Structure 1
């Protein structure tokens, strides 16, 4: 279930909105990159937050 973003970005004060991002993780034996991951994205600085449900998939 996707929540609507609320409030301001804690980094720059910009507005948070629903969007997509690229998730990158270093597993120690290689790097995994996943694109088009649903996330909350700051419209001003581009900071992103991935919900727990999306990151666990």
Structure 2
């Protein structure tokens, strides 16, 4: 149960980064590259989280 909560917190934190960078983009403080980077980081995290439970489960054997 803690693992599911932790993964949710990580995903929410990454989503908040996208909102943050999008706000700065609208204000003209950054380029769209920052938003694209934030989305890419979220996708990498999502991929990693998909693999992690299998790694954790195999370590318990």
Which TM-score tier does this pair reach, normalised by the shorter chain?
under 0.3
Whichever of the two has the greater Rg, that structure is 2
Query: Is the strand fraction higher in 1 or 2?
Result: 1
TM-score (norm 1): 0.19
Higher RCO (CA-CA < 8 Å; seq separation 6+): 2
